[in-house]
Structure 1
Amino acid sequence: MNRDSWTVLCLAYAIGLLSTGVLELSNPNPSWQQWIAVAVGLGFFSIVAAISMPRFWRREPRWQLWLVAGLVAILAVAYFQFRIPQPGSNDISRVLEKGNSKSQIVTVGGKILTQGKLTSNQRVQFWFEAKKLENTNEQVTGKLYVTVPISKGTDLYPGRQLTVTGILYQPRSPANPGSFDFKTYLARQGAFAGLKGQQIQFKERKKAPPWGLWQLRQRIINAQIRWLGNREGLLVSSMVLGQRAVDLPHNIRDSFIKAGLAHVLAASGFQVSLLLGAVIRLTGSLSPQKQFISGLCTLGLYVGLTGIQPSVMRAAVMGVGALIALVADRKVKQLGSLLLAGTILLLFNPLWIWDLGFQLSFLATFGLIVTMPALEKRLDWLPPAIATFIALPLAASLWTFPLLLHVFSVVATYSIPANIISAPLVTAISLGGMVSATAAVIYPLAGSAIAGVLYYPTYFLIQIVQFFTTLPGSSLAVGQLSLSLMLLIYGLMVLVWLNRWWQSRWWLVSLLIIILIVVPIRYNRLNLLQVSVFATKQEPVLIVQEREKVILINSGDLNTAKYTIIPFLNRQGINQIDCAVDFTSGVNRIDGWSEIEENLSIKRFFSDRPISRTEYQSLSVGNKISIGSIEIQSINNALQLQIQKQIWLLVTESRVDATNLAMLPKTVSVLLWSGKSLGKKWLDLVKPEIAIAVSPTLSQQTRQQLQQRGIQLYWTGRDGAIQWRREGGFQKTIETQEQEANLP
C-alpha cells in the first residue's frame, strides 16, 4: 500500500475511536443497541465512501480500501471498549459493594505510586496501589485516589510502603450541570474508589532510594527554587517539566489559564523542540548515528521526568521521527509525522482520544503545520522574528478555539496579544530553565545560579499575565458550543485548508463561523424561563433566568462558587448578574461572593450587611424587587419568588424555626429548604405541591411526612441539581432507580 492508503486507514482508526463519544460508548457497559448502531453507522459510511470517493479521487485509493477502512473503524470501537479499565474481583472498590454502602472507614496497606500534590482544598493528593485491607486482613488490589491532611503529606515518594486510615468512598456522577465528572476521571485512570485519609503509618523507616526519576525531578525543582523563590522558581520548573510534574500554586495556574496562556505551563511540543534542537546542535560534530542515540536518550529522560503525558508523548514520537529522518538523510513530512504519531499513541492507549491535553496538542500542532506558513506569508512585511511571534499563537489558537469553546464556554479576550507579547519571555525562560535543569542534575548549586538569571524575565511574565487578567472583560462567557456545531466549524476550517476557492473567501467562512457560534446561543435565550437549584452541602443556591435577565440567590462557599456556579454561568453565556440576593448567615459566603465578583459583574446586590465590593441594598421585609416579570419579596425569615403563576418559597436552615408562620403565603407551588425537619405546622399551612430539599441527607421521617401529604419530593442528595423549565417542567441531574426514588 502507498502513503495515501495508510493515511486513510489511520484516519479511519481515529474516526472509529471518536465515534465512541458521539454514541456514548465510553461508558463501561454499553448496550447491544449502541454496538449495533455504531457498527451499522460506520459500515454505512464506508460503503458510501467506497461508491463515491473513487469518482472524485480517481488515482488512489481503490474502493476495496474504503471497505477495509470501515472495518478498521469498527475494530477501533471494539478495541476502545476492550481497553476501558474494569475493577478486578479483588478490587478495593468491591469492599463498598459488599457492605452495600457509599463510604466506609478502612485501613488500607499498599504502595505510593506518585509524589504528593497540593489540591485546592489544601490537602495532599497521591495515587496509591492497594494491597491489603488491614481491618479484615484481606488481600485487595486496585488503584486509589488518596488525599490526606497537609500535615500528613510529608515524606511521600513513589514506591514507599504505608498504611492509610480514612474514609473509602465511591465517586458519584456529577451532581450539578457542567460540573467536573470525577467518577469518569478516576475510571479512565483505572481507579474506582477514593480514600479520604486521616492517618498515615509508614511500614518502614528507611531512607528514600538514592536514585530515581522523581529524585531527579525534585532535585531540579529544589535547585530552581533556591535562588528564585517559590513563585518564580515553581513557574520556571513548570515551564520546563510541565504543571503535572510540579506543584504550582493554584493562583498562578488560574491566572495563566484566564489569560489564555495555559499551554505555557504544559510540557509539550515547544519544550521538546527546544530540547531536541539544542541536543542536535551540541552534537553537530558527531555522526548521525551518535546524534540519534543522544537525541533518543534525551527524549526518554525528558518523558520520564515529565511523566507519561499525551502531549509530551506526541512531541516525543514526532521527535523520534525527526531523528530517524536525520539518520536516513531524508526530509520529514510534518503532517504524515503528526498522523503517524497520533496513530501510534492511540494504539498504545486508545482512551487518550478523549484526553483534552492530547486533543489540544494535536490541534495546535496541526494549526502550526497548515496555517502558520500562510500567516507568515501575509506578515512578510514585518521582521521575520516578529512575524513568527505573531503567526505562531494565531495559528495554534485558530485550531484550538472551537474545542476550548465546546469544553469551557469561555473566551480569553486578550489571549492573542498576551501570547504575542509574552512569546520572547517564554522562549528565554524555557531555554534558560532547561539549561538550569541540566546543570542541576550534575551540580545543584550551578543549576540555582543559572536559574537566578531568570528572575526578572519570570517576574515580568507574571506581571504581564496579571495585567491582562485584570483588564475589563478579560474573559468572556459565550455559552457552550454544541458538539455538532463544533464538528461543523472544524469541517469548514478543513474546507478552507484544502480548497483554493474557499481560501480566497476565508473572510466569508469566518463570518459564517461567528454566526454559528452566536446565533444558536442567542436564539435559545429568546423564550428562556429556567430555575436551577444546585446540589450544595450547605444552604440552597439557585439561579433564575428569564431571557437575558439573571437572578442569583446565595453564592455558597468558595468551592461552590468556583466549581459549580461560575462554570454553569459560563455555559449559559452569562457575564452579568442583574440581581444577586444574599439570604444566608454562613461565614463562608464572603469567599463565595468574592469569587463571583472576580468573574462577573453584579448590577444590583441585596444583603443584610456588606460582604462584597459591590454596593449593596438592604432587603427589607415586605419590599418587592422586580426583575423582568419575576418578583422577589422577603417575608420575615423566608424569601418568596413569584415566577409567572408559581410561588416559590425559600427557607434556609438557620431561619426555619424563626419564621413567623402567620406571614407565610397560604398556597405555595414549590417549597425550597435545606432539608431540616419542618414539622406538621409548616406542611399543613403551606401545603406545597412540590418540595425540594437541598441537603446531602434527608431524614426518613421527613420523607414520610411529604409522602403522606402527596407532596412530590426532589432531594439534591439523591437527585442532584433540579432544573425547572417553562416548556419541560422539572428535571433531575442524576437519574435514580425507581426503588431509590420511592424510599419510605
Structure 2
Amino acid sequence: MFGIVLAYYFQTIQLLRISAYLLTALLLIAASINLFYKKLKAWRFKTSLAFLYYGFFAIAGIFTCLFNSDQLNSDYFANKNFNQLKVWISNEPQINGDIARFEAKVTKGYFGGKTETCSGTLLIALKVDSLHPLHLKYGDEFLITAKYLPVEPPYNPNEFNFKQWLASKNIYHQTFIRQSQLIKIAENRGNPIKAFALRLRQQQVNVYRKLIKNDEAFAVASTLILGHRADLSKETLSAYSKTGTIHALSVSGMHVGIIYIALNFLLGFLDRRKATLLIKVVLICVLIWGYSLLTGFSPSVLRSAIMLTVFILSKQLNRSSNGYNVVAFTAFCLLVHQPFLIWDVGFQLSFMAVIGLIYYQPKIKKWLYFKNKWTNKLWETTAMGLAAQLATLPLSIYYFHQFPVYFIISNLFILIPITLMMYLGIAILLLRLYFLAPIFEYLINFTNRGLKRIADLPYAGITEIWINRWELILLAFFLLLLSIGLSNYKRKLILLSLVVLVVFQGCVAYRKINFMHQEELIFFSLRKNYAAAFINGNQCILITDLTAKDRNFEFFVKPALDEMEIKKTIFVTWRQDFRNEQLIKSDHQILYRGKSILLLDENFNNKRLASPAKFDWIWVHNNPKYKLDDLAEEIKPSGVLIDASNKDYMISQLSKRAILLNLSAYSLKKQQALHLKL
C-alpha cells in the first residue's frame, strides 16, 4: 500500500524503469537466500531479512501502480493527435434524460489514412437523438471523432475533485459528442463473462419492473439485490444516509454474508461425510462467486467473496484462519489486480469495517451478557454495529461530514427487514415465486417509511462536520491509542491518546474561532452562472442567479460555504438592491468592507458614467459593449472580473485587453475561483 501511494504521486516512466530493475534484483536476492538458507545461516539475520521483504513489497507496489497507469504507456491515445478513435463500451452505460455516459476502452487511432494501435480509457458523454435513440450496451464497438480534453480540475474551494476521482479509475480524458459523431461497427467486444452477467442482471431488473408497482420500491429492490444503479429519490437517500444505513443500498459484505448463512443452512445435510462436505464447500464458493459476478464485481463484493472463500477453504483444510491475515490477503489480491482501488472510498470503508468487526466486536460483546438467548443475540448484533461504526468513524466524518446519532436503532430496525428482503428478492428471481412480490414491495415501503421517521427525529444526525487530513490522522491516532491502551491496560497509551484528543479538539476549536471572525470574498468559477459570496463571520451574502435548490449551487458553491461553517446565507440577484451593516448594493455598485465594485452590464451600452469614481474592481456581466479602455481611464480599477454569463469570445477579448491596460484579469469560467481575505 505504501508503494502504491508513493508511486501514485510520482508517476513517471523513469520511476517505472527503476522499480522494475530493483524488483528484479530483490527477487533474485530473495530466491538466492531461500535456496541457500542453511549454508548462509540466514536465520542469524532475521531482522535484516524482514526489512528486505518489506522493501520488496514496497517496490512491488510502486511497480504495480505505474505498470497499471495507462497514461505512462507509449501507445496511450492522448499522446498523438488522431482524427478518429475506435472504442468499445467497457462498463454499463448510465442514461439520464438525453445524455448517456459511459467509459470506453480505446483500441485504435486514425490519422491521415494511417491506423495505430492505442490503449487507454475515455469517459464519453453522448447526446442521444430523441427521434432515433441508440441502444447502448456493454461491449458495443464504435468509431468516434477524436475531440477529447483532459478532465478538468476543481475550480472552487472544496468542490468535489472529479479529476482525482476519475484518475483513481485510470481515466484522464473525457469527451462530449453527439449521436451523429458516432458510428457503430461491432458488438460483443468486451469480456463475454461480464457481458453475460450484465445481460442476466438486466433481465432480472426487468422482472422486478413488471412485478413492483411503486417506483421507489423498485429502485431499492434493484439496488439492494442486484447492485443495479437505480434513480433513488433524494428523500430516500437522505433517510438512509442520516440513519447510518446507507451501506444497505450498496451490495456489500452484509449481503454476501446473508447469502452465505442461507446456503450454509440449506446445505447443512452435506456435513455428515467428508466427500459431501467437499461438495458443499465447492457449491457455496461457486454460488457466492456467481452472485458477485451478477453484481458487477464491485470492490465490497469482491472483498467479501475472497474473504469467505479463504475462510471456507481454511476450515475445510482444518487450519485456523487469522482474521487479519485474511483481510491482508484479500487487500493484496485486489490491489495487485487493480492498484487504484486504494483510493476508492467504498474499498477503504469496507476494509475498516471488517477490521473493526475482528478487533472491536469480541471486546464490546463481553461488556454485557444476557441469559435469554434472543436478547443475547440482539446484543451481539448491536456490538457488531458499534464495532463497524467505531472503526469507520474517522473516514465517515472526513468523507461524508456527518454522524448518525441513532445508528444503533436504525441498524437494529433494518436487520430483520433487510434479511427478509434479500431472501424474498432472490426467491422471486431464482424460484419464480411471483406471488411473493406484494410482500416484498410492502416490506421495502415499510423499511423506507421507518427510516424516514427515524431520520426526522430530533437531533437525528450531526451534520456539516468538516475535518482536514491532519485532523483525520489525529482522530484515527486517538482511537488507535485508546483502543490498544484500554485493551492491554496501558495507562501511558491511554494518557497519550487523551493528549492527542486535546490536540485534535484544539485544532478544531482554532478553526471554529477563525470562522467566527472571518471576513472573506469569493468569486466562484461557474459554467454559465455567476456567484459571489461576501462572508462575514458565519453569515454570507451571495450575489447570484442560483437558488438554494439548484444543482449547480449544491455542487459548486455550497461545499465552500459549508466548509467555512456558514449558518445563514442571503441570496441577492444581479438587479436586486440590498443594504445591511456590512454590504451596500445599489445603482450597479457594491461597497463591502472598504472595497468597491462596479457592476458593468448591458445597461451601460451607449452611456457614460454619470459621476466617475474610483473602484477597486470592475465586474463584467452579460456581454456589455462599453469599452474597457475608457472605463479604466475614468475609474482606474485594480482588476477586472469576467463572469461566465459572458460569451467565450468576450471573455477572451476582455482578458487580453485588461492585461494590455496593466489590470489584473480574472475569468470566472474554467479558471480557479478568486478567493480574497479582507
TM-score range, shorter chain: 0.7 to 0.9
**1:146 equivalent in structure 2:** 124
Identify which of 104, 111, 114 aligns with 2:88.
111
Give the whole-Å Cα distance in 1 for the aligned partners of 2:450 and 2:621. 44
| TM superposition shift of 1:126 | 1.8
**1:44 equivalent in structure 2:** none
Question: What amino acid is aligned across from residue 592 of structure 2 in structure 1?
Answer: Q
Identify which of 324, 335, 358 aligns with 2:347.
358
- CA deviations on 1:139-189 (whole Å, 9 max, x unpaired) are 463322122235476522222234456953332222222223333333333
| TM superposition shift of 1:556 | 3.0
Question: What amino acid is aligned across from residue 116 of structure 1 in structure 2?
Answer: P
Identify which of 511, 518, 528 aligns with 1:521.
511
**2:528 equivalent in structure 1:** 538
2:308 matches 1:319: yes
Contact 1:410 1:570 in 2 (8 A): no
- Once the two structures are superposed, the pairs formed by residues 185-196 of structure 1 within 5 Å of their partners are 185-196=165-176
Question: What amino acid is aligned across from residue 247 of structure 1 in structure 2?
Answer: A
- CA deviations on 1:362-420 (whole Å, 9 max, x unpaired) are 11111122222333333535912432443333222222221122233344455444333
2:249 matches 1:265: yes
Question: What amino acid is aligned across from residue 551 of structure 1 in structure 2?
Answer: I
Give the whole-Å Cα distance in 2 for the aligned partners of 1:416 and 1:570. 27
Give the whole-Å Cα distance in 2 for the aligned partners of 1:465 and 1:661. 60
Contact 2:515 2:565 in 1 (8 A): no
2:188 matches 1:239: no
Structure 2 residue runs of 5 or longer lacking an equivalent are 23-42, 271-275
**1:573 equivalent in structure 2:** 565
- CA deviations on 1:455-490 (whole Å, 9 max, x unpaired) are 111012222343355556665444531222212221
Contact 1:372 1:391 in 2 (8 A): yes
2:99 matches 1:130: no
| TM superposition shift of 1:318 | 0.5
Give the whole-Å Cα distance in 1 for the aligned partners of 2:73 and 2:45. 44
**1:281 equivalent in structure 2:** 265
2:166 matches 1:175: no
**2:620 equivalent in structure 1:** 673
- CA deviations on 1:105-151 (whole Å, 9 max, x unpaired) are x76543222222134x7622222233456786554633221222354
- In structure 2, the residue corresponding to 1:688 is in which secondary structure? coil
**1:662 equivalent in structure 2:** 610
**2:330 equivalent in structure 1:** 341
Mean CA deviation greater in 282-291 or 132-141: 132-141
**2:638 equivalent in structure 1:** 689
| TM superposition shift of 1:307 | 1.7
Contact 2:151 2:163 in 1 (8 A): yes
Contact 1:690 1:713 in 2 (8 A): yes
Flag the 1:671–1:571 CA change in 2: closer, same or farther, 3 A: same
- In structure 2, the residue corresponding to 1:178 is in which secondary structure? coil
Flag the 1:107–1:247 CA change in 2: closer, same or farther, 3 A: farther
**2:573 equivalent in structure 1:** 582
Contact 2:93 2:138 in 1 (8 A): no
**1:26 equivalent in structure 2:** 9
**2:385 equivalent in structure 1:** 393
Mean CA deviation greater in 147-156 or 400-409: 147-156
**1:548 equivalent in structure 2:** 538
Contact 1:130 1:143 in 2 (8 A): yes
Give the whole-Å Cα distance in 1 for the aligned partners of 2:437 and 2:127. 32
Contact 2:529 2:546 in 1 (8 A): yes
**2:427 equivalent in structure 1:** 435
| TM superposition shift of 1:656 | 5.4
Flag the 1:554–1:73 CA change in 2: closer, same or farther, 3 A: farther
Question: What amino acid is aligned across from residue 129 of structure 1 in structure 2?
Answer: K
Contact 1:84 1:188 in 2 (8 A): no
- In structure 1, the residue corresponding to 2:580 is in which secondary structure? strand
- Once the two structures are superposed, the pairs formed by residues 458-497 of structure 1 within 5 Å of their partners are 458-470=444-456, 476-497=462-483
TM-score (norm 2): 0.81
- CA deviations on 1:562-609 (whole Å, 9 max, x unpaired) are 2112222232333x225332336xxxxxxxxxxxxxxxxxxxxxxx5x
Aligned residues: 624
| TM superposition shift of 1:709 | 2.4
Question: What amino acid is aligned across from residue 335 of structure 2 in structure 1?
Answer: L
Overall identity of the aligned pairs, in %: 19
2:209 matches 1:225: yes
Contact 1:691 1:711 in 2 (8 A): yes
**1:612 equivalent in structure 2:** none
Give the whole-Å Cα distance in 2 for the aligned partners of 1:137 and 1:472. 68
Contact 1:478 1:572 in 2 (8 A): no
- In structure 1, the residue corresponding to 2:546 is in which secondary structure? coil
Contact 2:640 2:663 in 1 (8 A): yes
Flag the 1:672–1:124 CA change in 2: closer, same or farther, 3 A: same
Give the whole-Å Cα distance in 1 for the aligned partners of 2:14 and 2:445. 54
Contact 1:530 1:545 in 2 (8 A): yes
Identify which of 126, 141, 149 aligns with 1:161.
141
Contact 2:216 2:233 in 1 (8 A): no
2:407 matches 1:420: no
- In structure 2, the residue corresponding to 1:661 is in which secondary structure? coil
Give the whole-Å Cα distance in 2 for the aligned partners of 1:318 and 1:78. 25
Give the whole-Å Cα distance in 2 for the aligned partners of 1:285 and 1:218. 34
**2:580 equivalent in structure 1:** 625
- CA deviations on 1:205-261 (whole Å, 9 max, x unpaired) are 99x99981111111221112221133212211211232xx33333534455335433
- Once the two structures are superposed, the pairs formed by residues 71-110 of structure 1 within 5 Å of their partners are 71-72=55-56, 74-75=58-59, 76-86=61-71, 88-94=73-79, 98=81, 108-110=85-87
Contact 1:541 1:554 in 2 (8 A): yes
Question: What amino acid is aligned across from residue 693 of structure 1 in structure 2?
Answer: I
Task: Supply the RMSD in Å over aligned alpha carbons.
Answer: 3.8
Contact 1:280 1:295 in 2 (8 A): yes
- In structure 2, the residue corresponding to 1:719 is in which secondary structure? coil
Give the whole-Å Cα distance in 1 for the aligned partners of 2:325 and 2:660. 68
- In structure 1, the residue corresponding to 2:148 is in which secondary structure? strand
- CA deviations on 1:502-547 (whole Å, 9 max, x unpaired) are 6996996896487257324314325432222111122321223333
**1:374 equivalent in structure 2:** 363
**2:668 equivalent in structure 1:** 716
Give the whole-Å Cα distance in 2 for the aligned partners of 1:161 and 1:317. 32
TM-score (norm 1): 0.75
**2:32 equivalent in structure 1:** none
Question: What amino acid is aligned across from residue 168 of structure 1 in structure 2?
Answer: Y
**1:63 equivalent in structure 2:** 47
Give the whole-Å Cα distance in 1 for the aligned partners of 2:503 and 2:209. 45
- In structure 1, the residue corresponding to 2:530 is in which secondary structure? coil
Give the whole-Å Cα distance in 1 for the aligned partners of 2:561 and 2:233. 22
Question: What amino acid is aligned across from residue 519 of structure 2 in structure 1?
Answer: L
| TM superposition shift of 1:277 | 2.1
- CA deviations on 1:267-313 (whole Å, 9 max, x unpaired) are 21101111222222222222221122112211221221112322111
| TM superposition shift of 1:70 | 5.0
Flag the 1:153–1:646 CA change in 2: closer, same or farther, 3 A: same
Contact 1:85 1:187 in 2 (8 A): no
**1:603 equivalent in structure 2:** none
Give the whole-Å Cα distance in 2 for the aligned partners of 1:27 and 1:438. 49
